Amino acid sequence: MPVQKTLSRGIELFGVGVHSGKPVHLAILPAEEGGLVFRRTDLDGLETPLGGGRLEARNSMALVGKKFRVGTIEHLLAALFAFGVRNAVIALDADEVPILDGSALPFVRAIEKAGTRALTAPAAGLRIVKPFAVEEGGASIVVEPPRTGDALDLSYSIEYAHPAIGMQALSVKLDPGAFARDLAPARTFGFLRDVEALRGQGLALGASYENTVVLDADRVVSGPLRFPDEFVRHKLLDLTGDLALLGRPLAGRFTAHKAGHRLHLEAVRFLLANPDYGTTF
């Protein structure tokens, strides 16, 4: 059984919240135990462990503690999950993880620079042993046992009536190299037609051409794409971060079609509520 990991040294990053528009100082600190813990330094150091709060899926994933909230956690969690970092204190002075360039690449580069180190506690993983599916309005996630060994295979398909997107599908076998190369650089995306409505709800206040792939009715207007299929790659990035909410390594096959954070969360909640669908490895 593999052992748990933490960072070899701390990480500091600065940015803005994509929804709040507020500046954020983020520090990710090594920890010997306790899993991933979010700490609000602007609220007298109040803490909530990843598994100890309420999860909310709206336009991003949020962890809600007794007296505070931390939003847009999925890109950071995806990077920590892919590199096997199970113990760390995530300290920030605002209510949202900074969006940085809209991808997980800055987190990956920071983790690679800091390095990781092994701890003594085993990293007990969850292997899917029985298939299930969650569905809503034409969207679905099918979860199945792994084909071989302890692999985590992720597949996603999307379909948008937009000339720059259309139908896109991609499958990856998740490991640190594949995540860093194929998923981490993919940025969040949005449509100009939705901006006014989102900001009327207090969302996307920090979104810009620098941290979002922006589309008008016909094309991408925020500069060149990093991949021709960057849109589905970002969906796979989000799925990785949302599966990290389980707090342990995973082995299985997750096939998502036209899904999003809310359906990702339903799959996570199903596994938490039905432990007989998985076994420890």
What does the alpha-carbon distance between residue 114 and residue 80 come to, in Å, rounded to a whole number?
A: 12
Which residues fall within 8 angstroms of residue 71, CB to CB, at 6 or more apart? 17, 19, 20, 60, 61, 62, 95, 96, 97
What does the alpha-carbon distance between residue 183 and residue 75 come to, in Å, rounded to a whole number?
A: 10
Length reported for the chain: 281
**Tokens at 223, concatenated:** 């500069």
Which residues fall within 8 angstroms of residue 158, CB to CB, at 6 or more apart? 165, 167, 168, 169, 231, 232, 235, 257, 258
What does the alpha-carbon distance between residue 107 and residue 13 come to, in Å, rounded to a whole number?
A: 9
Distances (CA, A) of 122 to 1, 147, 261: 6, 24, 29
Distances (CA, A) of 138 to 43, 93, 257, 261: 41, 39, 8, 15
| 66 burial level (CB within 10 Å; 0-12, 13-18, 19+) | exposed
Q: Is 234 designated active site?
A: no
**Contact by Cβ (8 Å): 48, 68:** yes
**Tokens at 3, concatenated:** 């052992």
What does the alpha-carbon distance between residue 150 and residue 24 come to, in Å, rounded to a whole number?
A: 37
What does the alpha-carbon distance between residue 139 and residue 5 come to, in Å, rounded to a whole number?
A: 35
Options 19, 75, 234, 261, the catalytic residue: 261
Instruction: Just list the catalytic residues.
Output: 261
